[in-house]
Every structure is written in structure tokens, then in C-alpha cells.
Amino acid sequence: MGKPIRRYHQKKIDDQFDFIDRWSPAHYTASVNIILKEKAKDPDYIRRVKNRRMIDAPVIDALYKVSLFNKIQVENEP
């Protein structure tokens, strides 16, 4: 019975990473650290989380927010 829930969560994580890959700006590590504030991470670690799709919820959430902000900016350009 645990398999459908696990597949749902894995699909949700995969969708989130796909969105991050598509919409993250060229220079995103400083923006992620601004969102993380006191729990700032090394830029190499942030890149590793993004590229290797590692599970680190705060970093993934910050990456998602940066990507979402970039998407809104790109779509609203005249």
C-alpha cells in the first residue's frame, strides 16, 4: 500500500526539479542564499542539490522560489 504514496511524492519532487531546471536563472546561488538567510549554504552545495537532485527541502524550496520569480519576470517582459 505504500507504493502509490511514494510514487506520488517522487512524481511531485521530479516535477519540482523539472520546473527548477527549466526556469532557474543563470546566476541563482546568491538569490537562494538570500532566501535561506541565516541557514545560507555554500554555492557549490546549492549547485550540487540542483544538478544531482539531492533531497534538501529548504534548498529545494528556495530554488523553486527563485525559479518561480524568474518565470514571472520572463513572462512579463514586453
The per-residue DSSP string of the chain comes to -HHHHHHHHHHHHHHHHHHHHHH--SS-HHHHHHHHGGG---HHHHHHHHHHT---HHHHHHHHHHHHHHHHHHHT--
Report pLDDT for 47: 95
Q: What is the pLDDT of residues 30-75, one digit of tens each?
A: 999 999 999 999 999 999 999 999 989 999 999 999 999 999 999 9
pLDDT of 1 higher than 80? no
Rounded distance between C-alpha atoms, residue 3 and residue 53, angstroms = 21
CB 28 within 8 A of CB 63: yes
- Output the pTM of the full model: 0.86
pLDDT of 5 higher than 70? no
Confidence band of 3 (pLDDT split at 50, 70, 90): low
